[in-house]
Amino acid sequence: SLRGEPTDRTPIWVMRQAGRYLPEYQEVRSKMSFTELTHTPEAACEVTLQPIRRFGFDAAIMFSDILTPLEPMGAPFDFSKGGPKLERPLRSEAEIDSLQKYDAREGTHFVAEAIKLMKEGLGDKTPLIGFAGSPFTLATYLIEGGGSKNYENLKTMLYSRPELLTKLMDKLTDQTLDYLSMQVDAGVDAVQLFDTWGGILHPADYARVVLPCVKRIMDGLKDKGVPRIYFLKGSAPYLDLVTTLDVEALGMDWTMDMAKSLPSMEGYAVQGNLDPLALFGSEDQIRSRALDICRAGSKAPGHVFNLGHGILPPTPISAVETLVETVQGYRKGQ
């Protein structure tokens, strides 16, 4: 589907499918910190396989965090108090210069080890998706020191010291390309670049600051021979820009009308795009919305069903069962 080749049905996986909504994940997590979990190959492998065992998703996504590759650069995030926190946010040239370049095979060797275990556990039938955060989304966390509502520090740098932001983005772009290349070499079958915060910019700033870095990463992975997915949250105003990328698939969030958006996305497989909160609706609601998306997606060269963003911790297990059963039972023309 990601390559735009015909399939007998719509495949499904969901973002954050290995995670807090699963009781078996909570059990593993109760024994170790989040950072320990991402750094322990056996544990990361176990939580990656859990949703495959329970729901029979058509793909697994490796369990990790978008901030994992920043630690060896000299920017360790603390996950112990709710959201991720960076003790010293990077706001000066000296702080940005202090970020170290490293070889992903060494600095994040535990990710490669986890991928090998995941591939063994999955066998030949279920593909494994690797991922990274986009340079802009990583820069947002580094400059703000965590999540943010208004991105004041980041936007201050964008408008007052654009050359500083460019310097940071360049470093992150090189590191992200190396990190994703390492994942492909370790065995992942596809890669997704998450641009959670790319959609906070004016389209002209997105085109100048974000797009060239995404392009560099995706072009750098082309010869690796695996499908490349770009997911930009809030991508509707940027469609004319993201459709200049050489990638196999584009992720869509729930704010996009898939049927209306497809004509602007010609030639791309699409991934998405149920609102994660739709899983709190009735069984009939879930079925009806899922089928609407399957029908719309059937007009694309390829469609992989997903949520429009990560699944939420309080999501009922029964809702996920209904969703998977509905999507896997759908046949084109239904």
Please state whether beta strands 190-195 and 77-78 pair in parallel, antiparallel, or not at all (unpaired). Answer: unpaired
Nearest to 221 by CA among 243, 269, 252, 188: 188
Query: In the annotation, is 331 catalytic?
Result: no
Quote the CA–CA distance of 177 and 174 in Å, as a whole number.
Answer: 5
Nearest to 189 by CA among 225, 231, 232: 225
Place of tokens 């239904």: 334
Quote the CA–CA distance of 47 and 331 in Å, as a whole number.
Answer: 30
Query: In the annotation, is 141 catalytic?
Result: yes
Please name the helix (run of DSSP H) or strand (run of DSSP E) that holds residue 171, with its range, or none: helix 162-186
Nearest to 301 by CA among 266, 264, 261, 260: 266
Query: In the annotation, is 9 catalytic?
Result: no
Which residue is catalytic, options 16, 228, 287, 289?
16
Place of tokens 């058509």: 58
Which residue is catalytic, options 9, 20, 216, 295?
20
Task: Return all residues near 247 (Cβ < 8 A) that are at least 6 apart.
Answer: 218, 228, 229, 230, 268
Query: In the annotation, is 178 catalytic?
Result: no
Reading the block at residue 174, the tokens are 């090189």
Which residue is catalytic, options 9, 54, 65, 275?
65
Query: In the annotation, is 20 catalytic?
Result: yes
Which residue is catalytic, options 21, 25, 141, 238?
141
Nearest to 151 by CA among 142, 86, 69: 142
Active site residues: 16, 20, 29, 65, 141
